[in-house]
Amino acid sequence: MASPTDNNEGFFSDVRKVGYLRKPKSMHKRFFVLRAASESGPARLEYYENEKKWRHKSGAPKRSIPLESCFNINKRADSKNKHLVALYTKDEHFAIAADNEPEQESWYQALLQFYGEVAPGPNLIGIYRLCLTNKTISFVKLNSDAAAVVLQLLNIRRCGHSENFFFIEVGRSAVTGPGEFWMQVDDSVVAQNMHETILEAMRAMSEEFRPRSKSQSSSNCSNPISVPLRRACWLSQSLVSSPTRHAFPLFWRCFQAAAWAGRVVLP
C-alpha cells in the first residue's frame, strides 16, 4: 500500500491502522481506518466504502465511532463469523469481522492501544449475584456472604438495558458517588427482566415516600405503606481480564471521581 503524499500529511498523520474488514451481517468488505487522538478529533474507528474513497477524501466516512464512547472492546464469535471484534457503546454494539485469527488479534490489540488506559476500579473482579429487596440492591460476590456494594433504591436515578447488558445510574448520595453500573447477563430477556423488576421496585419506593395529602388522618400517616418484598438474584457471566484493564461483571463508569473509573473487558 502506497504511503500518503506530502500534501496529505495532515489527513493521514493520525492514522495508525488501515485495512479491509467485513460487516458481519451483510459480509460486505469495507475499508476501515483507525485514527489516534489528534487535533482533528478523538481516537476513533472509521470505515469507508473502499480505499480509493478514503485516499481521495471523497466524502465523510460511512461511520465513525469515537473509542472514548465505548465501555468495552472484545473478541467474539457467532454462527457466521469466527473472528469478530466488537465495540460496545451505551446504545449499541458494533462488530467487524476479520478473515483469520491473526488479523482479528491485530485489530483487537490496535483498538485496545487507543482505547485508553484507565485508573483502577473498585475491587469487583469475579462473578456476582445481584440481590433486590424493597429498599436496596446488593452486589454479592459468589461464595461470599457479604455484599461488596449496597445501593439504596432512592439513590438510583434511572436504569435500562441494551441487548444482554443492564445498567443502573446512581446519584451523588450513593456510596460510590455519581456514575453508572453496567452488568452483562445471559441474554436480552434477562436484561429486560432486571430492568422491569428494578423499575417496579423504584416506583414502589417512590410511592412510599410521596407526601400524603393533609386530609389523611394522623394515624394513617404514621403507618408505613405496605410494599411487597421482592428478592431476586441474577448471575452475571464471568469475565476475562486484559493486561491493561480490570475485568469485572459490574462496570463502573464514574462521572466525577477519576479514581473510580473502570471499563469491562468481556470474554
- What is the DSSP annotation of 1-44? -PPPPGGGHHHHTTEEEEEEEE-TTT--EEEEEEE--BTTBSSE
Rounded to 5 degrees, φ, ψ at 58 are -90, 80
User: What is the DSSP secondary structure assignment for residue 64, as one 8-state letter?
Assistant: E
- Find, among 167, 179, 133, 166, the residue nearest to 152 by Cα: 133
* Residue 8, C-alpha cell as written in the block: 496529505
Q: What is the pLDDT of residues 113-144, one digit of tens each?
A: 887 644 334 555 567 788 888 888 888 877 77
Residues 6+ apart with CB under 8 A from 127: 141, 142, 235, 236, 237, 238, 249
- What is the DSSP annotation of 204-247? HHHHHTSPPPTTS-HHHHHSPPP-----EEEEPPP---BTTB--
- Find, among 223, 202, 204, 203, the residue nearest to 212 by Cα: 223
Say what the pTM is. Answer: 0.47
pLDDT in tens, the chain (267 residues): 444 444 455 568 889 999 999 999 889 999 999 999 888 788 999 999 999 989 888 778 999 999 888 878 889 888 889 999 999 887 778 999 999 999 999 999 999 888 764 433 455 556 778 888 888 888 887 777 778 888 889 889 899 988 888 888 888 778 777 777 888 888 888 889 889 999 998 888 877 765 554 444 333 333 332 333 333 333 333 332 222 222 334 444 433 222 223 333 333
Structural domains of the chain, ranges and CATH numbers in brackets: 11-115 (2.30.29.30), 128-209+228-260 (2.30.29.30)
